[in-house]
Structure 1
Amino acid sequence: MSVSDRLPDYPVNSDFVKKLKAALEGRDEARLKDLICADVRHVDAVIELANDDWMKDPSAQLPPGVLVGLWTLEYKRELTTPLCIAAAQGHTACVRHLLGRGADPDASPGGRGALHEACLGSHTACARLLLQHRADPDLLSAEGLAPLHLCRTAASLGCAQALLEHGASVQLEGGTSRDTPLHVAAQRGLDEHARLYLNRGARVDARNGRGETALSAACGAALRPDEHARCLRLCTLLLRHGAAADTRDEDERSPLHKACGHARPGLARLLLLHGADARALDYGGASPLARVLQTAACAPEGEPQLTVQELLNHGSPTVWPDAFPKVLKSCAAVPTVIEVLFNSYSQLRVSESWKDVIPEEVFQMHQAFYQSLFALAHTPRCLQHLCRCAIRKSFGRKCFSLVPLLPLPESLQNYLLLEPEGVLH
């Protein structure tokens, strides 16, 4: 008999489950403790917390999709045990009590065991108690995830340490994505978790089901701005442990492509300094520069012009001149990006028709810059700019390292490295 066919000891419509849900929703710890430690008939009782099987109720209003055959026939049914509930809530005393009464630490009628729940909730004390009572540190959930895969927050570091101390495998691939624990840490910018796994022998260039290494996963993660510094430390750590800076995933995207897609200049610079190829093309023919230009207008607070500078100063080809109007249209609201890119050409013919792709409100907001741009429609670039281009062409992809060595004032060095000034000359 499968789990979904099993009759629960406490069905979802029972008085016990109603009281249990009320205690959980009300965060009534005392009542919850009484229910799961004293009121259940046996410690491994199966409790049904949810069941939306509308097929069991003839009077149920069917979802409209059913009538056209588009609705899945699966339904949500949530089964659990007192031990899983206690571990998920971080109630150490309840976990100790239930284990003392002989609760099975690996029981998982709902697909996840108590150890999974403890790790998901970052409850280190509960995880240690379960492991001391011989919970399997590599127990797989119904989704194929081990407890280490559920150590997903900075607060779960203690859980990860306890798992490894009790023999958890740091190489285990999990779920349909086949992520290792190192991939999970990388996706969430957990530098201390990554350090722990690497020190325990995690393979730094192991690939998941999408062909990503941990470095690639970290660079592609959508993180909050306050998490960027931690992610930068994590990527530095991975590179120091031998991660290849230019590996490609199944779409031929490199870590640099992904860092540029999120307009993260510090990360792009780190990768470029470790040998990432600024000229690389993915399967769609997009370069790292194309990736940052595609997202520049969506992330102006990330100062995308800094990423564009890094790429151009490390030898990235610039945009084909005929495609410049498309860049102007997509990046008009971020004129510093337009300025940096425009200054990477020795001469680029400005057309009055370009005004048509710039929204009027954007033009007015950045009037000084756009007036300087269109003033060049009938005027060649100044001699200073032409000298800049000649020096940059001579230095090529080493601009970033050779320009600072020139015996020039810092302001001129910045000029050579395409530092924006707000107007064009």
Structure 2
Amino acid sequence: ALAAVRGHEAVVRLLLDRGAEPDASTGRERLTALMCAAANGHAGVARLLLDRGAAVDAASRDGYTALMLAAGYGRLETVGILLGAGASVAAATQTGWTALMSAAGSGHAAVVDRLITAGADVNAWTRDSGTTPLLCAVGNGHAAVVRLLLARGANAALADSAGVTAAALARRLEHAEIARLLAAETTAAAGRRPLPQPDPVDPGRGFAH
């Protein structure tokens, strides 16, 4: 795993040629070489490990996959390689944390866009705190990611388990630009609501007198 951490592709290749197990994990966190390469953005090493049979959706002790780690550190090229190898954008930890939350909370807009395009759920929420990708972005002040998530269908009305919405969180943290974005989205959402329609007329009942 150390060679993968440091991006030494030739060393990783040599170790694999000599029988090293591509999915061997190390340390208390049970990180695989693929996870280490993904977190550090070593795209060539990640591709090599996948070619040699590394499990793309293997999870660490805490349930983190290589895709979650690459997304959280903004490794766009590696994210693309993992997705191309079939990595699941729906994979989640036991609490429901996803790769999209990792990218959104870290402010990596390009990765957020790539994950959503690949089918990531913009309104996924964690089971422990009820956080969403939008709340992750708001909480860390990433206005560009907030704007992107809203444009891609994030529901600004969703609240966490304490009842805090994205707008309330932005106001609490004094993220003025984000608060304005969310206020505009609330206004736009209200305008998108369909007008109430009259009950259909039943011709057989005649007119009311």
* Normalised TM-score (structure 1): 0.43
Larger Rg: 1
Cα 1:266–1:286 change in 2 (3 A) is same
Distance 2:172 2:7 in 1: 37
Distance 2:60 2:71 in 1: 15
* 1:140 alignment partner AA: S
Structure with bigger helix share is: 1
Cα 1:141–1:163 change in 2 (3 A) is same
Q: Which residue of 2 aligns with 1:234?
A: 111
Output one character per residue of 1:190-225: Cα deviation in whole Å (capped at 9) or x when no partner: 11111111000011111113311110122223xxxx
Distance 1:215 1:313 in 2: 23
Q: Which residue of 2 aligns with 1:63?
A: none
1:288 to 157, 166, 180: 166
SS at match of 1:168: coil
SS at match of 2:44: helix
Alpha-carbon shift at residue 307 of structure 1 (Å): 1.1
* 2:68 alignment partner AA: H
Alpha-carbon shift at residue 265 of structure 1 (Å): 1.3
Distance 1:137 1:396 in 2: 48
SS at match of 1:278: coil
* Residues matched between the structures, number: 189
Cα 1:123–1:294 change in 2 (3 A) is farther
Output one character per residue of 1:339-375: Cα deviation in whole Å (capped at 9) or x when no partner: xxxxxxxxxxxxxxxxxxxxxxxxxxxxxxxxxxxxx
Cα 1:308–1:186 change in 2 (3 A) is same
CA contact (8 A) 1:119 1:127 kept: yes
Alpha-carbon shift at residue 398 of structure 1 (Å): 5.0
Alpha-carbon shift at residue 396 of structure 1 (Å): 4.8
Query: Aligned pair 1:245/2:116, yes or no?
Result: no
Q: Which residue of 2 aligns with 1:153?
A: 40
Cα 1:117–1:398 change in 2 (3 A) is farther
Q: Which residue of 1 aligns with 2:183?
A: 312
Alpha-carbon shift at residue 397 of structure 1 (Å): 4.1
Cα 1:286–1:129 change in 2 (3 A) is same
SS at match of 1:211: coil
Q: Which residue of 2 aligns with 1:178?
A: 63
Distance 1:292 1:185 in 2: 27
Distance 2:189 2:159 in 1: 19
* Normalised TM-score (structure 2): 0.84
* 2:34 alignment partner AA: L
Alpha-carbon shift at residue 121 of structure 1 (Å): 1.6
* 1:289 alignment partner AA: A
Distance 1:196 1:205 in 2: 16
Q: Percent identity?
A: 29
Q: Give the unaligned 5+ runs of structure 2.
A: 193-209
Distance 1:282 1:188 in 2: 24
CA RMSD of aligned residues (A): 1.6
SS at match of 1:314: helix
Alpha-carbon shift at residue 255 of structure 1 (Å): 0.5
1:48-63 aligned within 5 A: none
Cα 1:133–1:277 change in 2 (3 A) is same
2:137 to 259, 279, 284: 259
Alpha-carbon shift at residue 124 of structure 1 (Å): 1.7
Alpha-carbon shift at residue 142 of structure 1 (Å): 3.6
Query: Aligned pair 1:189/2:67, yes or no?
Result: no
1:88-237 aligned within 5 A: 116-143=1-28, 144-151=30-37, 152-154=39-41, 156-175=42-61, 177-221=62-106, 228=107, 231-237=108-114
* 2:40 alignment partner AA: T
Point out which structure has higher relative CO (alpha carbons under 8 A, 6+ apart).
2
Distance 2:96 2:103 in 1: 13
CA contact (8 A) 1:252 1:282 kept: yes
1:4-23 aligned within 5 A: none
Distance 2:93 2:16 in 1: 28
